[in-house]
Amino acid sequence: MPVEPRDFYEILGVQRNASADEIKRSYRNLARKYHPDVNPDPEAAEKFKEIQSAYDILGDQQKRERYDQYGMAAFSGSGAEAGSPFGAGFPFSDLFDLFGQATSTRNPSAPARGDDLRYDLELTLEEVAEGVSKTITYPHMEKCEVCSGSGARAGTDPETCPQCRGTGQVRFTQNTLLGTFQSVQPCGRCRGTGKIIANPCQSCNGGGRVRKQRERTVSIPAGVETGTRLRVSGEGDAGERGGPSGDLYVFLYVKDHDTFVREGLDIGCEVAVSIFRATLGGTITVPIIGGTEELKIEPGTQPGQIYTLKGKGLPEVHGRGRGNQQVVIKVQVPTKLSAEQRQAVEQLAASFGDKVEEHSEKTGIFGRVFGKH
Ligand SMILES: [Zn+2]
Ligand SMILES: [Zn+2]
């Protein structure tokens, strides 16, 4: 059994008899407060999702009526409705763009909006560092060109539904001990559209849409991360019988990199140097994203010592600066020595008296292992 979500009126903080305007106002206030762009608290993102789901239903007159009558049962079996199409929409859908879309009031018998679609897109760290344009191909429902989306065969028009006389709704009157109740439901004959198609278009069988491959170039800003979603407005499925299109959501995944690990805007890598270079110091060549960089290490560099290349991390997605690159030094000890080399090392060891410098600190290996310093 899925968990029954909280009451949508309660989530939006309005009375059950609130007007559409009151609901809209309350939604806007809450969304401004909890939008992930504004409120970094992870609980806010959850809250925002909840608010969005509630508004998705209550902000739509037809869905609200269904919800009032049947509760969430009216939407079960259709995940797209219960889970809001926006979710915790990150961070490119501009807040007001979001509102413009979500608050459009709709005639209840107007053709339904098409479905939102999801496309999963994999990126390399190099692409994340630079930003990239990607051409993607995906199937979606497009308006049928033969009938211009009406669903009716050329030369004919959809007819007014005789059952509901074009209103798309039917009223039921129920007599009970407590009095007479009227309830309104979408008309079954015309599925709430108010129109029936006597002569369906042969190209789309009356649905007004046909399935097609769509090619589209999406530009991905630098600095995105796994879980970022981009909304491409109006690129989802076309609505039935000329209804507005849904949106396309591009979900981004950043592939693991062979050399670098990522931590927010920072990246890190390990670089091996010989015990002699570590001892003497000098300049080494280290990989950076998309190239190499010279790095000066000091004499006496220790295994695990970290050098920072400022500004060589990833750009912040809104263009506010860049992260750094951390270079962790790995010291390599030679495993094979020629007779001469062995002699030289023995001499060197003798000159040190073969003593290890006193060097014990609690924060060494264990600090790193446990992430404490
Ligand atoms: Zn058609
Ligand atoms: Zn009807």
The secondary structure of 59-111 as a DSSP string is TSHHHHHHHHHHGGGGGTT-HHHHS-SSSS--TTS-HHHHHHHHT----TTSP
State CA 346 to chain mean position distance: 60
Is 35 domain-assigned? yes
Q: Does residue 331 have a pLDDT over 80? A: yes
Is 46 domain-assigned? yes
- pLDDT per position as a tens digit, 66-117: 788 777 766 654 333 333 333 333 333 333 333 333 333 445 556 678 999 9
Residues having C-beta closer than 5 Å to ion ligand 2: 161, 163-164, 187, 189-190
> What is the model's pTM?
0.57
245: nearest Cα among 227, 232, 258, 255: 232
Ligand nearest to the CA of 167: 2
Q: Which residues contact 57 (CB under 8 A, 6 or more apart)?
A: 8, 63, 64, 67, 75, 81
Q: 84, 104, 124: which is the final residue of a domain?
A: 104
Strand pairing report for 261-263 and 266-274: antiparallel
Is 180 domain-assigned? no
Q: 104, 136, 162: which is the final residue of a domain?
A: 104
Can you give the length of the chain in residues? 373
Ligand nearest to the CA of 208: 1
Q: Does residue 297 have a pLDDT over 80? A: yes
Going from the Cα of 152 to the center of ligand 1, the distance in angstroms, rounded, reads 7
CATH number at residue 60: 1.10.287.110
Going from the Cα of 199 to the center of ligand 1, the distance in angstroms, rounded, reads 11
Give mean pLDDT, residues 208-213: 92
Looking at the structure of the chain, the number of domains it has is: 2
Ligand nearest to the CA of 161: 2
Ligand nearest to the CA of 142: 1
* Structural domain span for residue 272: 261-369
Ligand nearest to the CA of 185: 2
Going from the Cα of 87 to the center of ligand 1, the distance in angstroms, rounded, reads 33
Instruction: Please report how many Cα atoms fall inside a 13 Å half-sphere around the Cα of residue 196, on the Cβ side.
Output: 11
Q: Does residue 164 have a pLDDT over 80? A: yes
Q: 76, 104, 132: which is the final residue of a domain?
A: 104
Query: Quick one: pLDDT at residue 125?
Result: 96
Taking phi over 0 as left and psi of -120 to 50 as alpha, with beta for the rest, 115 belongs to beta
Task: Of 188-197, 228-237, 257-266, give the lowest mean pLDDT range.
Answer: 188-197
Task: Of 82-96, 131-145, 306-320, give the lowest mean pLDDT range.
Answer: 82-96
CATH number at residue 364: 2.60.260.20
